[in-house]
Amino acid sequence: MKKLKVRVPATTANLGAGFDTFGLALTLYNEFEVEEYDGVVIETYPKNPFLEKPENNLFVQVLKYACEKRGKTFHGAKVKQTTNIPVARGLGSSATAIVAGILVSSAVSKTELTDERFFEIAYRFEPHPDNLLPAWKGGFITALVDEGRTYYQKLEFPTEIKAVVVVPDFELSTEKARSVLPESIPLKDGIFNLQRASLFIAALTSRNFELLKVAMDDRFHQPYRKKLIPGFDDVVASAIESGAAGASLSGAGPTVLALATENFDGIGRAMVEAFNKNGISARYHVLEVDRSGAQLQILE
């Protein structure tokens, strides 16, 4: 095989109370086309000179590391990278590069990709299974890491729910968004989130979507992170007023996620307007849940 293409979905992590636990894959994709080559050549769509430098390109870094980890010398690659997922917005853009790099290296070396191999490489670049797993496997996933081992389960996600994601026009790195979190939280906040994360799963399995509004509230991260996101409370309130079942920060932010069964464009427009009133421009996407995860295609 000489030429491969991988398509990896965006992800929205946390979904409110499920901080560092829940993740959902969405139908917005980054694509990586790779050809055997001596040396590294990167083309980006849309054009991004920063990402065309191999040392800045996470996909190339992961591919190189994964090949070397398998005892192979990395001679280079010709890469065409199409980025549709906004960067540093809480939609798992980095996870797509990590998953794609691992999948390509595994296909090229014809090695079976076990969970152990996947995480051994992936965690070197990003420690969040709530992004990595849905990007790889698709769907809705609950995950945890215990003594170095990752335990997870993919759960059915109701087909009638769509995700309205509203992406403000500024970046927020996960590092910065984690730096504002406290070291410890009071027991009452632990109980608050435990109850809501459990209710979230119950709302999905029973299809009682009215529960999502309260179930997507959170005291672990949103109260701290919202200080970095002008208008966050107004955006969430506007989603609910326009008929969303529930709303939360998407991953580490600054994107805001609404889950809804109707009035998708109305919800998106209202959320954009709420950001605008707080001096922030934003755009919205109405997305479905991606259920198949990363897809690798052999082109030649």
Instruction: Please say which residue, 30 or 174, places its beta carbon nearer to ligand HSE.
Output: 174
C-alpha 147/C-alpha 137 separation (Å) is 22
Instruction: Please say which residue, 23 or 77, places its beta carbon nearer to ligand HSE.
Output: 23
The H-or-E segment that residue 248 falls in is strand 246-249
Neighbouring CB atoms inside 10 A of 244's CB total 29
Candidate residues 12, 14, 30, 250; the one interacting with ligand HSE per rule CB under 6 A: 14
Neighbouring CB atoms inside 10 A of 39's CB total 9
| Helices 264-277, 232-241: crossing angle, 10 deg rounding | 150
Binding of ligand HSE by 142 (CB under 6 A) = no
Per-residue interface string for the shown chain with ligand HSE, residues 155-184, x marking contact by CB under 6 A: -------------------x---x------
Binding of ligand HSE by 58 (CB under 6 A) = no
C-alpha 206/C-alpha 154 separation (Å) is 17
Size of site (CB under 6 A) for ligand HSE: 11
Collapsing DSSP to helix, strand or coil, 62 comes out as: helix
The beta strands (E) that lie in the chain are given as 3-13, 22-36, 39-45, 76-82, 140-146, 149-155, 162-168, 246-249, 256-260, 282-287, 295-298
Binding of ligand HSE by 259 (CB under 6 A) = no
Instruction: Please say which residue, 174 or 242, places its beta carbon nearer to ligand HSE.
Output: 174
Binding of ligand HSE by 99 (CB under 6 A) = no
Instruction: Please say which residue, 128 or 213, places its beta carbon nearer to ligand HSE.
Output: 128
Binding of ligand HSE by 250 (CB under 6 A) = no
Binding of ligand HSE by 106 (CB under 6 A) = no
Alpha helices by DSSP H, listed for 185-248, are 187-206, 212-215, 222-225, 232-241
Whole-angstrom distance between the N-terminal and C-terminal Cα of the chain? 6
Candidate residues 5, 128, 162, 219; the one interacting with ligand HSE per rule CB under 6 A: 128
Q: Which amino acid is at 230?
A: P
Binders of ligand HSE among residues 210 to 249 (CB under 6 A) are 221
C-alpha 101/C-alpha 43 separation (Å) is 16
The beta strands (E) that lie in 102-196 are given as 140-146, 149-155, 162-168
Task: Tell me how far, at minimum, the Cβ of 11 lies from ligand HSE, in Å.
Answer: 8
Strand partners, 24: 12, 140
Binders of ligand HSE among residues 59 to 98 (CB under 6 A) are none
Q: Are 273 and 256 in contact (CB under 8 A)?
A: no
Q: Which amino acid is at 189?
A: D
Binding of ligand HSE by 252 (CB under 6 A) = yes
Task: Tell me how far, at minimum, the Cβ of 261 lies from ligand HSE, in Å.
Answer: 25
Instruction: Please say which residue, 106 or 174, places its beta carbon nearer to ligand HSE.
Output: 174
Candidate residues 9, 246, 251, 268; the one interacting with ligand HSE per rule CB under 6 A: 251
Task: Tell me how far, at minimum, the Cβ of 201 lies from ligand HSE, in Å.
Answer: 17
The interface region with ligand HSE, picked from 12-20, 182-190, 232-240, 270-278 by CB under 6 A, is 12-20
The closest alpha carbon to 163, from 12, 283, 43, belongs to: 12
Interface ranges with ligand HSE (CB under 6 A):
13-14, 20, 128, 130-131, 174, 178, 221, 251-252
